Amino acid sequence: MAILTILAAGRAKRFFQSCIFDQSLIPDKSLAPINGKPNLINTLEKTDQYFDKFYIVINEKYQKIFQQTLEDYQRKIELIALPSTQSGIGSGAAVMAALSRIKYQEIILLWGDAFVSNTLIIEELINYQSAAVLSLPLCHTKDPYVSFVLNQNLNAIAVDFSKYGEVRQSGYQDQCVFKIKKSLLDYLKIFHQATFKESRYITETKEFEFLYIVHLLRNLNKPVKCFISENKDSIHSYNTVQELKAIENLMKEQNKNIKSKSHKLVTLV
């Protein structure tokens, strides 16, 4: 059974500080409209054919808003509602909550602030075979928000976040989507307990960053398997309203090009 889990329970302070959305109506970045449609709906529409069930991790405070927005998809969706005290304390905590509730042995995980332009990279990940507890596609980019350090076997051995001052001019960046085994939950629990004892993993906002799990898995000789994808325009993430608007403009330009090509084909016929 193919499972997609979407994380939509963050505080998104930087996003809401940069926009004019009413947070009582649009409480999470995943619900922000892109060209008039909530991003979460776009994700479901684009990926529906690949997955039998969707789990969406949310803040319980906004459960009614999510239920109303997702009314047409209720047959395939289960909401994992986190108490407000747990919501927004880091992606690692949200992934732990999801894996604790989901009975399936393998899931695909997607960030809620990821706009799915096309499903090429999701298809690659679905078809990627690995026994590792964590697998993911990477694309090489300039000024990566998150940069992965790889060994010669394309196993991730370290992760750097630009927002925490770990800046790289170029590097391999994740594409907001991951393949996770249920057994990763055990390692997340270990890492969560150790996080606040090791200064490297304490962030200014006291968040439990999911991707820092790479360091624990490296130390335990558990490979984090990566593959390099050329489909870097398949998924776009946004942390500010400016980045969201840039995605809107990109989609408009792509639609314009598609219509132009279709018109030329009709003319030739």
The pLDDT tens digits of the residues spanning 242-254 come to 888 899 998 888 7
Distance, C-alpha 188 to centroid of its chain: 17
Q: What is the mean pLDDT of residues 196-217?
A: 73
CATH superfamily, domain 3-268, is Spore Coat Polysaccharide Biosynthesis Protein SpsA; Chain A (3.90.550.10)
Burial of 220 (0-12, 13-18, 19+ CB in 10 A): exposed
The reported pLDDT for the residue numbered 157 is 96
Structure tokens at 139: 């694309």
The reported pLDDT for the residue numbered 226 is 98
pLDDT value at 264 more than 80? no
First to last CA, the chain: 44
The reported pLDDT for the residue numbered 109 is 98
| Strands 146-150 vs 156-161: parallel, antiparallel or unpaired | antiparallel
DSSP 8-state assignment for residue 83: P
pLDDT value at 268 more than 60? no
The reported pLDDT for the residue numbered 196 is 53
- Name 111's bridge partners: 7
pLDDT value at 260 more than 70? no
Residue 96 to residue 111: CA distance in whole angstroms: 14
Residue 180 to residue 107: CA distance in whole angstroms: 5
The residue among 19 and 99 whose pLDDT is bigger is: 99
The reported pLDDT for the residue numbered 225 is 98
| 3-state DSSP percent of the chain in helix, strand and coil, to 5 | 40, 25, 35
Q: Cβ atoms within 10 A of the Cβ of 78, count?
A: 13
pLDDT value at 218 more than 60? yes
| Predicted TM-score of the model (pTM) | 0.89
Helices and strands, counts by H and E, the chain: 8, 14
The reported pLDDT for the residue numbered 85 is 66
110 close to 190: Cβ distance less than 8 angstroms: no
Domain ranges of the chain: 3-268
218 close to 157: Cβ distance less than 8 angstroms: yes
Q: What is the mean pLDDT of residues 128-136?
A: 97
Average pLDDT over the chain, rounded to an integer: 87
pLDDT value at 266 more than 90? no
pLDDT value at 96 more than 50? yes
Structure tokens at 236: 């776009």
The reported pLDDT for the residue numbered 263 is 46
**DSSP-based three-state secondary structure for 186:** helix
The residue among 11 and 10 whose pLDDT is bigger is: 10
Q: Which tens digits make up the pLDDT trace of 31-77?
A: 999 988 999 999 999 999 999 999 999 999 999 999 999 998 888 99
The reported pLDDT for the residue numbered 173 is 97
Angle (CA) 217 222 226, round 5°: 90
Tell me the residue type at 8.
A
Q: Which tens digits make up the pLDDT trace of 103-119?
A: 999 999 999 999 999 99
Token pair 């619900």 in the structure block, residue: 31
pLDDT value at 17 more than 80? no
Model confidence band, residue 192 (pLDDT cutoffs 50, 70, 90): confident
The reported pLDDT for the residue numbered 267 is 54
Residues near 127 by Cβ (< 8 Å), separated by ≥ 6? none
The residue among 172 and 267 whose pLDDT is bigger is: 172
Q: What is the mean pLDDT of residues 178-199?
A: 84
